[in-house]
Amino acid sequence: MAYRGPSYGLSAQIANKIAAKRDKQLEAEVLEWIQEILGEPLPNGSYEEILKDGIILCKVMNQLSPGIIKKINTTGGQFKMMENINKFQEAAKKYGVTEIDVFQTVDLWERRNIPQVTQCIMSLGRACYLHPEFPGPFLGPKPAEKNEREFTEEQLRAGETIINLQYGTNKGANQSGINFGNTRHIFEVDSLWWLENPTLGVNVWNCLNTIQKPTFMQ
């Protein structure tokens, strides 16, 4: 049998670093939230032991979204219990948990990354805010709402024109672009262009005035 001491040592170091990231207070909040969701006391045991077989997690999902998990395995070997974990993972993603927040089965079953399990449940708690039909309790802060702004095509075209003039154009301004690092910046503008484009010229002037003072060609 080949000697695997160094590999084991490295694995142990990684495991220790992951274990050091565990937040006992946060884990207690997660268990308290789960207990409130289920409306019944949790079994005795450590944090990971309570969650390991996936039964509790599946019950939580069915409370949040009734019937989302059709069958929960309460008996059977390790494969049946690991199947529970897989069912929870899929249900959590359907409910709104992002793929990146979902832990791997071995993270819980083999206790490889319990902090990731906690992060997943916290993400599940935040996803509850996205479901108006859910009355609570909630876990963690409410996610920030998107602040989407819409612009007309005319506004977008005007913005593109100003940006092009800032960084150089062969129409009107004869400077190829903005030079950074110089002690003095001179932006030469054809005065005829300003007369032909008074409205746009004001916008460009206001924008460029914060960058450099324009010098007009005679």
- 111-148 confidence digits (pLDDT tens): 999 999 999 999 999 999 999 999 989 998 787 665 55
The CA–CA distances, whole Å, from 122 to 51, 114, 144, 180, 206 equal: 14, 12, 15, 46, 47
- Inform me whether the pLDDT recorded for 71 exceeds 50: yes
pLDDT digits (tens, 9 = 90+) for 175-216: 444 444 444 444 444 555 545 565 666 566 566 555 554 454
Q: Which amino acid is at 213?
A: K
Output the CA angle 163-164-167, nearest 5 degrees.
90
Residue 182: alpha-carbon gap to chain centroid: 40
Would you say the pTM of this structure is higher than 0.85?
no
H or E element in which residue 56 lies: helix 55-64
Q: What is the pLDDT of residue 53?
A: 96
Question: Taking a C-beta distance cutoff of 8 angstroms, is the pair 166, 173 a contact?
Answer: no
Choose among 113, 97, 98: nearest CA to 48.
113
